[in-house]
A and B are shown apart, each in its own frame.
Chain A
Amino acid sequence: MLRRIVLLAATLPLVLLSVLVTALIAWPLLGIVWLVDFVWWPFAAWRKRPLQYQARDTRSASIITVSWNGKHFLEVLLPSLRAAVQEHGGDHEVIIVDNGSTDGSVDWLRREHPWVKIVALPKNRFFVRGNLAGVQAATRDVLLFLNNDMEVKAGFLKPLLDGLRDPKVFGVAAEVFFRNPFKRREETGRTRGGIERGWLKLRHLEPSLDERTLDLVPTFWAGGGSAVFDRRVYLALGGFDTLYDPFYMEDAGLSYQAWRRGFRVLFTARAAVLHEHRGTSRKVFGDDYIDNVIRRNQHLFLWRNITDPIYTAMVLGGLPGSILLRAHRPRGRYLYGVWFEVKAFLRALPRLPEALRKRCADRSSYRLSDRQVLAAANGIAAHRAMCGTDLGSLPVPAGSRGHKILVLSARLPRRGHDGSWVLFERLLALAKTHRVTLFAFIDNPEEAIGSAPLSAAGIEVVLEQRQRNMQPGNLHQVVPHRLWLDYSAPSMRSAVRRMLEGTDHDLVQVEYVEMAHIVADEPLVAPRLYVCHESMAVASERDAKGLGGRFRALQADRYERILLAKFAAVVALSDADATRLRTQAKTLKVEVVPSGIEVAAFVPSPMVAEDPATILFVGHYKHAPNVDAALWLVREILPLVKRQVPHAKVRLIGSSAPAVIESLTADGVSVAGFIPDLAGALAMATVVALPLRLGGGLRGKLLEAWAAGRPVVATSIACEGYVVERGAQLLIADDAPSFAAELIRCLLDAGLRQQLGAKGQEHCRKYFSVATANASFDRIYRAMLKAQP
């Protein structure tokens, strides 16, 4: 313990000193960069000379591999490459740049592979300069760079070369697999980049289904060891930049320069290579040195390429803070982490003049801003909207009448568990005409099995486990605490971002306010439809008790207004919610589409008999209004009913019952938990009670009771949004004595029960079919897509 305390006491001053040193250098540096940008800006604007798009011959390529003492790698690569070249049939040339190997590579190449062109360098010039030597020897329009520790798969060349047919495309990357299939895929070829928390975040992504299905998709950078490039543009851009010498980040820098000049960099999953990841460099230089060079080159990348003043301020101004965030290392080696970061920064400084010179020189050629590049290079839908590149197409069930819809739901829609069955039914019908991708959060992995029926209907289902948000923030309580705590974890946000970027969609449909909250911060690319299952303002106002409740209600109202501004259209399930939403966002298009239900699914088996004097309540108890309703029913209404019907009993059905509900179990009250056969349970009930006093939206439990042909006694809030005739389809009562009186009337009068059940079922068939609901959604989709520029 003493050791740890001493260590802490020693660490703190050193960390503070490091931060101080970084700040003293980085902040004046920010001033210099801003000044240089400001002074150079008129020259850059005056001397605008963007690169022209030109056609190139994609029938053949110069294939360049740099090798240093890599004979054992070439023994694997060259036979597979020769097979690929012969299979494609083009007039390709293979150039091996030998970086002064001492393992006899050159002699071996001359003897075993005379078909290969050899560029033998006297000493090791490393990756960047080695590749430049290879390019000087190349004669074809297309350059294909391959690492020596690769093995190409059959059919490798054609998709890469086909991708370069469009003159606007600069590079195409192949998918990378590790030779060891059990190794985590740190490298895939599909890359993403962004400025997050004041730093450059680059990573490889596991390609999504859409990314695998499409011919081509955008990628932030094409890896310098498994991609093709246009030679003319490559040379015009200066090739792999010696700023990053000896290795790493040169491919990202080259691709970013191409993006900024209006060229596209794409990825195809149709071409694949096997890679012995970091087979050469890590063994020679060691992990620590390589990682530090990568970090140094990230500094250089940012200084050379990122010209957006806000991003520049975030990166350089926030550098003292961002090194503290990045310094975290396992096993408490924090001080080492800080030193690692400071060392990388200091190592980058001598190259600052070169970075700034290139930053100024290239600005006159840029067509796209940093923000445009980050959007177009990371997301398919954004790329389509901004660049219009032909990426291929995805199959849609109804052909041209159907759309590609990305549905983002805060919970996995399932039958019989909670109110999400409404969405479940809608999705099943939707998938018949549209290509639907569903993303949903689950609370535990066992829930995932509930997605099977949706997958069977042709819906691609992607699930992510919900995490608690452990990050600091929400300092001024703008976001309601529940949303901040349960739906703001970085992992959840990045999963949603990945869906928005990794799917090819025409429209995004956001279900539930929790998901609207997560999506709100993401850049708007395709039109967004928000399906409001329950107005947060209405629900919290109904639950507003005391000052705290009033505070929460105002907070919910204000935050809901902020959220609504992010959507093109909103669908409310009830008129009450729609009216409230319209007052919150006056220019917003709000439509009411009541939920639909398949009545046939609720027709009970003739074997099921009614259980006498049974009052049934169904609810998912994670929803607070259901807990309140169950407590009110058992504690206040049931005793009144029992005065006249002593054998009356209440049955509470539903999952996630808290202890307070479980404790209600007593004589005449049973808590059944989740029941898979809800139709059967409804058929056994004498009457269905809906004593809801809180919440909003359209109650699906009323539809379920009607579909099963059961008599219903409900509060006005429970049947909100339904056009009903009091006493015809259901009985309505809002206080305990009258609610009990209506229940007693129902329990004692079989004729009344039959009449209510039959009329409710008829009402359900007439106005609440799934087909009607989906026709309304189709109309809304069409209107939204038509309104798109």
Chain B
Amino acid sequence: MTQKIAVFLTTEVAQARLMLGRLLDRHPDAIVVVYVGVDARWLLSRDLEYCVVRPDKPVGGKANFVRGLRAEKFDLLYVAWHGGARPQPLRLVALLAGAARTIAIDEFDKQFEVGLLRPNTWLLHAARRATSIRLVGIARIISTVYRCTIGGAVAVVSLAAFALLRRPGAAAKDRKG
């Protein structure tokens, strides 16, 4: 049976090209679905000729995107844990995508199988990468967690108060005036 393989590419074009070429050589008969950013897509247009190309930006919400990935039931998922200049949430989404096997490729070109419920497979990589995170990166993570939890709750309460205090008839009165 034909294998169905998903690939989450890095934004580093040279590395992406190398990774893709090797993968196509190894699985010549597989259906390869590549999730890649718009910027890199035209740079990689030749390499992507025999692949199904999909945008790496979630359309219709992040949860829907993950649900869609799980519904695809990929046999194999390759994810680049290379680094790159920009944050790539797909690196983490790979652990949630529900593929039968998920293989991560690090910046030393080392391949290793990972699974969300087997922290021993990715913890070492995470610990090593954590040492290179800049202070602003840590601050951003803390700020995002706060914004989505306590900050979000504060925002809901303050917006509810705003909605109550906003006079509904004000618009009509002003128009008459």
Contacts and interface: CB of A to CB of B under 8 A. Distances in A.
B140 interface: yes
Interface stretch (B7-15, B95-103, B113-121, B156-164): B156-164
A659 B55 contact: yes
B7 to A, nearest CB: 17
Contact of A472 (B54, B140, B162, B175): B140
A328 B170 contact: no
B146 interface: yes
B59 A475 contact: no
Contact of B174 (A475, A476, A582, A658): A582
Given A555-B159, A583-B170, A475 B131 contact: no
B129 to A, nearest CB: 10
Given A5-B127, A474-B147, A477-B152, A660 B170 contact: no
A477 B162 contact: no
B1 interface: no
Interface in A535-572: 551, 554-555, 557-558
Interface string A467-481: 010111111111000
B135 A475 contact: no
B128 A4 contact: yes
A579 B55 contact: no
A551 B159 contact: yes
Contact of A558 (B128, B143, B151, B162): B162
Interface string B44-70: 000000000011000100000000000
A658 B142 CA distance: 32
Nearest to A6: B131
B59 A477 contact: no
B26 interface: no
A1 B128 contact: yes
Chain A interface, >50% SS class: helix
B135 A470 contact: no
A328 B135 contact: yes
Contacts of B134: 328
B154 interface: yes
Contacts of A332: 132
Nearest to B125: A1
A290 interface: no
Contact of A475 (B86, B124, B143, B166): B143
B146 A8 contact: no
Contacts of B54: 659
B140 A475 contact: no
A7 B128 CA distance: 12
B155 A477 contact: yes
B110 to A, nearest CB: 12
B97 to A, nearest CB: 19
A475 B163 contact: no
Contact of A471 (B131, B136, B147, B154): B136
Given A472-B136, A477-B155, A586 B174 contact: yes
Nearest to B167: A583
Contacts of A551: 155-156, 159
A687 to B, nearest CB: 30
Contacts of A7: 131
Contacts of B158: 476
A473 B135 contact: no
Contacts of A555: 155, 159
Could you say which of A325, A478, A554 has the most chain B C-beta atoms within 10 Å of its C-beta?
A: A554
Contacts of A476: 147, 151, 154-155, 158
Interface string A509-525: 00000000000000000
A473 B159 CA distance: 18
Interface in B1-38: none
Contact of B59 (A324, A473, A557, A658): A658
A583 B159 contact: no
Interface in A306-331: 324-325, 328
A659 B36 CA distance: 12
B57 to A, nearest CB: 9
Contacts of B127: 5
A715 B161 CA distance: 34
Could you say which of B86, B152, B159 has the most chain A C-beta atoms within 10 Å of its C-beta?
A: B159
Contacts of B132: 4, 332
Contacts of B163: 554
Nearest to B130: A8
Contact of B139 (A4, A8, A472, A558): A472
A478 B86 CA distance: 25
Could you say which of A328, A472, A473 has the most chain B C-beta atoms within 10 Å of its C-beta?
A: A472
Contacts of A475: 143, 146-147, 151
Nearest to B155: A477
A37 B59 CA distance: 58
A580 interface: yes
B159 A579 contact: no
Given A1-B128, A658-B59, A557 B166 contact: yes
A295 B134 CA distance: 23
Given A476-B151, A476-B154, A5 B131 contact: yes
B159 A554 contact: yes
Contacts of A659: 54-55, 59
A576 to B, nearest CB: 11
A660 B174 contact: no
A77 B132 CA distance: 48
A491 to B, nearest CB: 14
A553 to B, nearest CB: 10
Interface in A688-733: none
A125 B143 CA distance: 51
Nearest to B86: A468
A561 to B, nearest CB: 9
Could you say which of A332, A470, A477, A558 has the most chain B C-beta atoms within 10 Å of its C-beta?
A: A477
A469 to B, nearest CB: 10
A554 B140 contact: no
Interface in A471-514: 471-478
Interface string A1-18: 100110110000000000
A470 B131 contact: no
Contacts of B166: 557
B156 A470 contact: no
B85 to A, nearest CB: 11
Given A328-B134, A579-B171, A583-B170, A472 B143 contact: yes
Contacts of B59: 658-660
A558 B160 CA distance: 11
A11 to B, nearest CB: 10
A471 B136 CA distance: 7
B120 to A, nearest CB: 16
Interface in A148-169: none
Contact of B142 (A325, A328, A472, A583): A472
B151 A579 contact: no
A324 B131 CA distance: 17
A72 to B, nearest CB: 43
Nearest to A475: B151
A189 to B, nearest CB: 32
Interface in A581-595: 582-583, 586
A7 B154 CA distance: 39
23 contacts: A1-B124, A1-B128, A4-B128, A4-B131, A4-B132, A7-B131, A325-B135, A470-B140, A472-B140, A474-B147, A475-B143, A475-B151, A476-B147, A476-B154, A477-B152, A551-B159, A554-B163, A555-B155, A579-B174, A582-B174, A583-B174, A658-B59, A660-B59
9 closest residue pairs by CB, A with B: A472-B143, A477-B155, A583-B171, A472-B139, A4-B131, A554-B159, A472-B140, A475-B151, A1-B128
Interface of A: 1, 4-5, 7-8, 324-325, 328, 332, 334, 468, 470-478, 551, 554-555, 557-558, 579-580, 582-583, 586, 658-660
